[in-house]
Amino acid sequence: MNAVAEETIEETKERVLTLNDRCDAGSCGAAALAKVTGVSGSLFFCGHHFTKYENTEGMKKFAFETIDERWAMLNENRLKAD
């Protein structure tokens, strides 16, 4: 698939997370770009903290569903650059 087609696909994605969803890591509180759901509930992460924890053993054991919307941050940065 060429770059133009990939960009079009990304632009049609809809975000599931809202601005009210905030990072649960420590006292971060940044806007959540990822939601990880496990048996005991859900955790929200900003892009930085999700990148930090996504491949850890603890996360792999906890998560059965992950919503990763870090692509939205990349799209916003592209728009600002234009």
Mean pLDDT of 15-27: 93
Count structural domains, the chain. 1
* 67, 34 contact by CB (below 8 A): yes
pLDDT, residue 8, reads: 46
Model pTM score: 0.73
Bigger pLDDT: 28 or 77? 28
CB atoms within 10 A of CB 46: 22
pLDDT, residue 82, reads: 56
Residues 35-60: pLDDT tens digits?
A: 999 999 999 999 999 999 999 999 99
Which residue segment(s) compose the domain that 37 sits in?
Answer: 3-81
pLDDT, residue 49, reads: 97
